[in-house]
Amino acid sequence: MLDVNGLISSFIEPWQTSRFADIQKAPWDVVGNIEALLRQHIAILDSSYERVDEWAVHRTARIEAGAVIKGPAIIGPNCFIAAGAYLRGGVYLEQDCTIGPSSELKTSVMFAGSKLAHMNFVGDSIIGADVNIEAGVVIANHRNEREDRNIRIVYHGQVIDTGVSKFGALAGDGSRIGANAVIAPGALLEPASIAGRLQLIDQSPEMELT
């Protein structure tokens, strides 16, 4: 039986030394509680972070005029957030992350060196280190196309019932997602996964995988 509580640390190496290292929960449970977790960590950040309302920004991070950040959020060292970006619902950027113009990041965690190009939506997800997400990518977080919106995932021949209605993806370190790809709700992308441009990845048992 798959240990869903060990998925994050097996997909994302930096998790094991991050501020979340002591959390061994399924990825959908982590993002479901991310706002409370961030508030706890904001309260103990050192003086290298500046606090504004419910978000904290490292002094080396750059945020262009016109970006919108709704806390709680932690923006780590050397991160860059472009004009028109929208961060909300609990967001953590570890370090050296880039959020491009007109990209929306909602209720998500990103690790070192990961990038959203521009005009992206990433919802309720955990993104590993050195993940590159090209322009126009959508990582969807909600199955509004059916009455039963509970997210189920087929992974290594097993069906995982998450018990939640909102979860995007767990994207392993070094993954590459091409322009205008769509990642359907409930995706487990192993380290170094590649999604081609315009590709749909849907790991739901209700879908015929191609």
- The domain that holds 94 is classified in CATH as 2.160.10.10
Task: Supply the residues annotated as catalytic.
Answer: 118
Residue 208, in any domain of the structure: no
Using alpha carbons, select from 181, 202, 62, 70 the residue that is nearest to residue 131: 181
What residues are paired with 138 via a beta bridge? 121, 182
Q: What value does the mean pLDDT of the chain take?
A: 95
Residue 190, in any domain of the structure: yes
For residue 209, name the pLDDT band (cuts at 50, 70, 90).
Answer: very low
The position carrying tokens 């990642």 is 183
CA distance to 156, 160, 191, per residue, from 2 (Å): 9, 9, 17
Residue 137 has pLDDT above 80, yes or no: yes
Q: How many domains does the chain have?
A: 1
For residue 1, name the pLDDT band (cuts at 50, 70, 90).
Answer: low
Residue 206, in any domain of the structure: no
Residue 208 has pLDDT above 80, yes or no: no
Residue 147, in any domain of the structure: yes
Residue 209, in any domain of the structure: no
Residue 116, in any domain of the structure: yes
Q: Which domain holds residue 21?
A: 4-201
Residue 113, in any domain of the structure: yes
Mean pLDDT computed over 135-148: 92
Cα–Cα distance, 70 to 86 (Å, whole number) = 8
- Quick: pLDDT tens for 2-16: 889 999 999 999 999
Mean pLDDT computed over 95-121: 98
Structure tokens at 181: 């790809």
Residue 170, in any domain of the structure: yes
- Quick: pLDDT tens for 161-186: 999 999 999 999 999 999 999 999 99
Task: Give the per-residue pLDDT at 52.
Answer: 85
How much of the chain exceeds pLDDT 70, in percent?
A: 98
Task: Give the per-residue pLDDT at 147.
Answer: 80
